[in-house]
Amino acid sequence: MSLPDDVFTIMSKSLTPRDVCSLSLCCRNLNELAVSDKVWVRQCKTVGVGFVGYRDIVEWREGVSCYKSLCRFLLGVKPLIGIWVHQNPELGNVVYVMPGFVSVVGCRIIPQELGPLGIEDGPLLWASVFEVIGDFDGSLAFFLHGRERDCDYVYPGLLKPVNGACNVLLLEVEPRNQSSGGKLLHSKSLSHHNLDRRIRRPDTVNGVSRSQRVSGLVVSFSRLAFGDRRRLLELVADQVRLKVPDLAIGPLFPQVRDDGEDDVESLQKDMKLLSERRLQLMNMYKLGMGRNDGRIDPSQAELSKIKKSFNGEECHMYNTKRKNIAGYFKDSLKSILGRSSSINGGRSSNSRSSSSNSENKHVQLHEFLKSGDTIGLSLQASTVKLSTYRAWPNMHDNRFALYKLPMRIPASGQEYSGLWGGTFGWPPGRPTEDKPGKALFFLVLSYQESEGQRLLIATKILEGTHYVLHPNGSAMFVVKVDEISPDTFPWYTYEDSRRVDVKCAYNGEGIANGYGFRYPGSKPGSLFIIEDGLLAFVWKESRAVLTLKRLNLQELLKKGERVPSLPPIVNFAYLTKSYSNVFAGFSNTNCFSSTRYILYYLILFM
């Protein structure tokens, strides 16, 4: 009890935030120590390790009431930091969640060709998907991003408590109860006042949350038919959308100047813009600025309008089908076969959802809508058991979801784990005169054991070609890290005549044309470890080479170029299978300016 404050502060480094909260309940003196900024700034530094630096913590403190509130925010968003993916489209759908300003931002990396300045110096194209902003007390506010009719919009919603081990982000619609202040029926509070109440168990079982199973009040969104889920998301998003004012169109995170400028004055200018943007968005979130329908909470939609929209569609479909004899016989045939069409006429994305067995598992839309007084968007960070094939998760093809890729920190015996980027061809990293538009590849390297052998697997998560050559999640090469290759590297120098120093080489197999698109073949090759931090996989027969360099994606995005987003729901999860670059049509930047690229898309969309 008589310890000096500074000594107690040093000792508090060994405590978790939950321990500090428990300690503050012991007595008045310990409570005064446990709520001091000295203690909580150390907790912020500990929680923020790996994604927020000390300078950011000090700057973010200006946007919250105290360091304890900032720690509450950091605990809430830390599990979201990292790389999230979806299997569609096949060129790659990579969303990287990174720090903003008292916020985290989900940025989609646009499939693209390598610019004339190379990977590290050229602007990386990206589009915003969503962001989570911290309020004054450290509570979380979720904004989905989207673009409609040449205007930028945000779509406010609620973020459920985040499980520290979450591996799936689900965009859903949730009924809410006005008597509980518009909160989710099964959520006591959005503001996370009890900091020590951390979710440690998986929060979903068969698509139903633990609180839903206890209360029995809310029907799980995942139990609706796919067509109902899709249309419901679109209708709710249309009602809650808020046009982004000019001030809030500014940067989402501090920028890195092209000329390397990083002085105090430019940083302060960025911080001022970011702070003003955050305050304006939080005012919109709380007060519904820019709306004239009288709603206090802009994240809530009127349930009556949703029901009216569905009923109107239902009547329209009924009248149309009465006039359409072919449609009548088609529906009769579906009924005989035990199949049903969804309420909005959309077809399910797989055959299982249209079978009679699966139909029995679906919940009727009216059962879902009667669970609350209002309705709104929500982001659910869940922990589910996922199977994988060569480090790529097996995904549902009809869930509005993003899946987290586990990223292991390089360690002894697994030195090459992590994110790498590169292109085909030598010299590495830059386009040449004969090949001005090299496709940019992102690969995640991970280690596995199979039949007693250690394997290094390079999984493709993004491909910048015009039309996909290899499916998303393909193993571009698999290397046996315990088998030394006797092969020699085909090139002795770089483009500037510097000598290439090869540390070692390993035997492996690289992707090749084989049985079908989803199950390609493989051909022998070698992975060369080069002194300059490069990896190069060379196919023996063709002498094709894929050169890779480790990437700092956060720094690349800070130097990158933002392009327009997709419409909101497909912006979160593009569920339509596509082998072309669906994101390129929404950008008018120079990185897509090769003549054959533009002609290809003109032909494709005519």
Q: 103-129 pLDDT, tens per residue?
A: 999 999 999 988 766 777 778 999 999
Round to whole Å and give the CA distance between 283 and 261: 32
Residues shown for the chain: 606
Mean pLDDT on 520-548: 94
Provide CB contacts within 8 A for 590, sequence distance 6+.
Answer: none
Question: For residues 597 and 491, which has the higher predicted lDDT (pLDDT)?
Answer: 491
Q: Is the pLDDT of residue 165 over 50?
A: yes
Round to whole Å and give the CA distance between 578 and 468: 9
Mean pLDDT on 271-291: 82
User: E strand or H helix at 503, and its extent?
Assistant: strand 502-515
Q: What percent of the chain has pLDDT over 70?
A: 74
Q: Is the pLDDT of residue 538 over 90?
A: yes
pLDDT at 470: 85
Q: Is the pLDDT of residue 21 over 80?
A: yes
**Side-chain half-sphere CA neighbours of 323 within 13 A:** 5
Structure tokens, 358: 């699966």
Q: Is the pLDDT of residue 550 over 90?
A: yes
Contact 393, 481 (CB under 8 A): no
Mean pLDDT on 353-365: 59
Average pLDDT, the chain: 79
**Of 553, 500, 524, the residue nearest 83 (C-alpha):** 553
Question: For residues 259 and 373, which has the higher predicted lDDT (pLDDT)?
Answer: 373
pLDDT at 528: 97
pLDDT at 479: 97
pLDDT band at 352 (very low <50, low <70, confident <90, very high): very low
Provide CB contacts within 8 A for 312, sequence distance 6+.
Answer: none
Buried b (16+ CB within 10 A) or exposed e, 498-512: eebeeeebbbbbbbb
Round to whole Å and give the CA distance between 232 and 173: 7
Round to whole Å and give the CA distance between 275 and 134: 12
Q: Is the pLDDT of residue 558 over 50?
A: yes
Q: Is the pLDDT of residue 328 over 50?
A: no
Q: Is the pLDDT of residue 336 over 50?
A: no
Q: What is the dihedral of CA 43, 45, 47, 50, to 10 degrees?
A: -170
pLDDT band at 365 (very low <50, low <70, confident <90, very high): confident
Strand partners, 142: 132, 157
Residue with tokens 């430019």: 266
Q: Is the pLDDT of residue 343 over 70?
A: no
Provide CB contacts within 8 A for 180, sequence distance 6+.
Answer: none
Task: Give 267's DSSP letter.
Answer: H
Cα dist. 268→64, 98, 254, 262, 264 in Å? Answer: 18, 20, 10, 10, 6
Question: For residues 157 and 343, which has the higher predicted lDDT (pLDDT)?
Answer: 157
Q: Which of 234-238, 273-277, 348-352, 503-507 shows the lowest per-residue confidence on average (mean pLDDT)?
A: 348-352
Q: Which of 68-72, 80-84, 397-401 shows the lowest per-residue confidence on average (mean pLDDT)?
A: 397-401
pLDDT at 193: 36
DSSP 360-386: HHSPPHHHHHTT-SEEEEEEEEE----
Most confident of 114-123, 238-247, 411-420, 595-604: 411-420
Question: For residues 570 and 300, which has the higher predicted lDDT (pLDDT)?
Answer: 570
Q: Is the pLDDT of residue 291 over 60?
A: no
Strand partners, 600: none
Q: What percent of the chain has pLDDT over 90?
A: 45
pLDDT at 369: 85
- Domain ranges across the chain: 5-63, 76-301+373-389+394-402, 303-369, 408-552
Round to whole Å and give the CA distance between 44 and 159: 21
CA–CA–CA angle 77, 83, 89 (5° rounding) = 130
Most confident of 207-221, 305-319, 377-391: 377-391
pLDDT band at 257 (very low <50, low <70, confident <90, very high): low
pLDDT at 508: 97
Termini Cα distance of the chain:
77
Q: Is the pLDDT of residue 548 over 80?
A: yes
Round to whole Å and give the CA distance between 96 and 294: 36
pLDDT at 521: 87
pLDDT tens for 437-456 read: 789 999 999 999 988 899 99
| Residue 342 CB neighbour total at 10 angstroms | 20
Round to whole Å and give the CA distance between 531 and 535: 9
